[in-house]
Structure 1
Amino acid sequence: MAIAAPEPKAELQPPLIGERRVVIRDVCWEAYLQILDALPHSRSSRLTYDAGVLEITMPLEDHEFYRSLIEYFIRTLVELFGMRIKTMGSTTVNYPGLNKGAEPGNAYYIQNQPLVKGRNVDFTQDPPPDLVVEVDITHTDIQKNRFYANIGIPEFWRFNGKVWHIYQLQEGVYVEVDASPTFPQVPKNWLYRFLEQAKEDEIDAVQSLRAQFQQFDELSGQ
């Protein structure tokens, strides 16, 4: 039987500030939808609704840096491995039957890309995204592991500004794993190195990732 991975613990050192959050409790589904509709579509804030708890997140610079660069990392790997992708970004993912809605950091269809390519996704009929990425540098009141496991996201990445957690859905709960099920050949240090290099030069980081992959590919082919 799969045992659910615990929510990541807060760091003991002074916390980094990556997001500002506002939490509103006792919000019904209809009120959540009204708030969602009242907000402009072009905004930086993101909403997560979980059974009466509405969390509004305002990303700051560190959050957006890591979120954008992790997407760059994923898209480069997809290309290098000859895969296909449909990027959902922070598209609103609503599941009224589960009383849950979210605008994740990034969401992707990779394995199920052929099912949803060339059209808008209908979450009432289509499968959920294959991979969701959240950057949670500061505390969040939403238990994201339980939240996305209940939605049925097969793979969930969380990054707190220092540590990359990879979760795989097993028997309805997330189990933390050492390698991404989507990119099983990729060790964790590739992302850490990529993000560290990107702080100095993002293009150089991508070029180094490509060179690293080529070297890995040549060694694998021997």
Structure 2
Amino acid sequence: MLLEFKRIHVPPGQRVLLQNVTWTELEAILEELGEHRAARIAYDRGMLEIMAPLPEHEDDKEIISDLVKALLEELDIEFRCLGSTTFKNQFMNQGIEPDQCFYIKNEALIRGKKRLDLTIDPPPDLALEIDITSRTHPHIYQALQVPELWRFENGKLQINVLVDGNYIESQSSLNLPSLPLIDVIHQYLEKSKTAGRNATIKSFRNWVREQL
């Protein structure tokens, strides 16, 4: 399988589905792919999806991530940003690589750790998915008990929070104060396309300070 897998090319915006992939095979495939790659994976009880994001997907991910980082810094909240780390739980037979993720409330519990195991470590407090190519899998995040999932789709931010094991759409974030993030994140993302990244982040920081 690995020899064949090395020959697979996934064009940007496309995906490959592999059925009946065992956990051992999943681990071998992840090892073969390596950590420094553009493709993202999702694994759900034997079904493996490999997706290559579009360039605009990466642009939006970077700006939204920078806005979240700036917000946490202005609020003086410790956090750890782990990017597209592979989160998996063998007992649940599921795994996912978010576009971006943050440890916020549980940052101290994983501080300094180089490898995480969701059978013993907490999941990230916040996961971000850019849904331009419809590759998000909310049910996997739900099963892994990620408390908050942001999905950015068609220019709109949707905040989902975990309540009694299920995601419900919310107007506010569990991990961040009661700020109008749904509208503001979109506003500053659009601003970055004309004003530039640095000017946008500076303006956003000023806005956050005004709210405090």
TM-score, length of structure 2 as denominator length: 0.88
Aligned pairs for 1:61-210 (under 5 A) are: 61-123=55-117, 124-140=119-135, 144-187=137-180, 188-200=182-194, 201-210=196-205
1:45 Cα shift? 0.8
Tell me what 1:27 maps to.
21
Q: When the two structures are aligned, how many residues end up with a matched partner?
A: 198
Tell me what 1:212 maps to.
207
Query: Identity percentage over the alignment?
Result: 33
Letter in structure 2 aligned against 1:170: V
1:184 Cα shift? 3.1
Deviations 1:190-214 (A, max 9, x none): 1011100111211111111112112
User: SS at the partner of 1:199?
Assistant: helix
Letter in structure 1 aligned against 2:127: V
Mark the runs of 5 or more structure 2 residues left unpaired by the alignment: 1-11
Deviations 1:82-103 (A, max 9, x none): 1000111111112111011122
TM-score, length of structure 1 as denominator length: 0.84
- Larger relative CO (CA 8 A, sep 6+): 1 or 2? 1
User: SS at the partner of 1:175?
Assistant: strand
User: SS at the partner of 1:206?
Assistant: helix
User: Distance in 2 between the 1:31 and 1:118 partners?
Assistant: 29
User: Distance in 2 between the 1:32 and 1:199 partners?
Assistant: 38
Tell me what 1:42 maps to.
36
User: Distance in 1 between the 2:35 and 2:110 partners?
Assistant: 22
Letter in structure 2 aligned against 1:186: L
Mark the runs of 5 or more structure 1 residues left unpaired by the alignment: 1-17, 218-222
Deviations 1:47-105 (A, max 9, x none): 11111111111112111011111110110010111100011111111211101112211
